[in-house]
């Protein structure tokens, strides 16, 4: 398996634009997580899904952020409109089940909003 | 309010010596803990875990110690190698199906 695949690897966009980050989890994994890494806050959990259903989105910072998982092999994280403070590395991870199972992370998307 | 804390942002250790990375947590309901390692431009990878029913778990050069009364855990790397230079994240969760909460990370540099 190729692991968790995220695209794009890098994204530079202007403030106010819509940004869509994409993730393909490992086949057979039932849980998917979106994290954001910043210097100040480390790795923050934004939202996670189990069997394609959003379970907890309490980490999503604002209504400008939304995430979907239309099927077991694809998820998106959208920011609309984007702001400079959204600049960070966004990671997608998947695991076989929720909880104690090891999570496998993608390589991340480095987002820069100018 | 951070529930998982790693108070040392960085640590430098000589090759061959012991590296000790510390982690404190505030939520007494946490009962499972994990360590992840992250190299630059890569995602974190799982390293080792420990359940609250244990106070020690060992895997090769890596040992995690858990002190529940102090709400403290530590990761020991012996002997440290230059390839261990990375950011180490401590993580915790409650129960079997809860979300994992990560600490801010500690950057370890192992000097040859």
Q: What is the pLDDT of residues B3-15, one digit of tens each?
A: 999 999 999 999 9
pLDDT at B1: 67
Instruction: Write the residue in A45, A48, A91 that is nearest to B43 by C-beta.
Output: A91
B33-49 burial: b if 16+ Cβ within 10 Å, else e = bbbbbbeeeebbebbbb
Task: Specify whether the CB–CB gap between A77 and A36 falls below 8 A.
Answer: no
Average the pLDDT over each of A59-63, A74-78, B78-82 and give the range with the smallest value: A59-63
* Whether pLDDT at B60 is above 70: yes
pLDDT (average), residues B19-48 = 95
pLDDT at B82: 97
* Whether pLDDT at A111 is above 80: yes
Query: Are residues B104 and A91, on separate chains, in Cβ contact within 8 Å?
Result: no
pLDDT at A41: 80
pLDDT (average), residues A12-22 = 97
Instruction: Tell me which of B40, B43, B47, B105 to substitute to probe the interface with A (most A C-beta atoms closer than 10 Å).
Output: B43
Residue closest to A89 by CA, chosen among A4, A10, A13: A10
Cα–Cα distance, A90 to A65 (Å, whole number):
12
pLDDT at A2: 80
Question: Nearest chain B Cα to A56, which residue?
Answer: B99
* Whether pLDDT at A34 is above 70: yes
pLDDT at B49: 95
């Amino acid at each position: 398996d190729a692991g968790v695949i995220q695209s794009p690897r890098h994204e530079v966009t202007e403030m106010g634009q819509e940004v869509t980050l994409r993730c393909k989890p490992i086949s057979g994994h039932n849980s998917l997580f979106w994290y954001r890494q910043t210097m100040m806050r480390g790795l923050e959990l934004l939202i996670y899904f189990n069997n394609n259903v959003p379970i907890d989105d309490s980490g999503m910072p604002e209504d400008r952020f939304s995430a979907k998982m239309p099927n077991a092999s694809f998820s998106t994280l959208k920011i609309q409109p984007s702001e400079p403070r959204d600049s960070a590395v966004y990671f997608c991870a998947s695991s076989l089940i929720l909880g104690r199972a090891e999570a496998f992370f993608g390589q991340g998307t480095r987002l820069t909003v100018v | 309010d951070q529930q998982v804390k790693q108070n040392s942002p960085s640590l430098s250790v000589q090759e061959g010596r012991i590296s000790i990375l510390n982690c404190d947590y505030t939520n007494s309901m946490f009962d499972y803990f994990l360590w992840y390692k992250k190299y630059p431009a890569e995602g974190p990878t799982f390293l080792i875990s420990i359940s609250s029913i244990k106070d020690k778990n060992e895997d090769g050069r890596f040992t995690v110690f858990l002190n529940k009364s102090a709400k403290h855990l530590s990761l020991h790397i012996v002997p440290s190698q230059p390839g261990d230079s990375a950011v180490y994240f401590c993580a915790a969760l409650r129960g079997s199906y809860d979300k994992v909460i990560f600490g801010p990370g500690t950057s370890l540099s192992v000097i040859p």
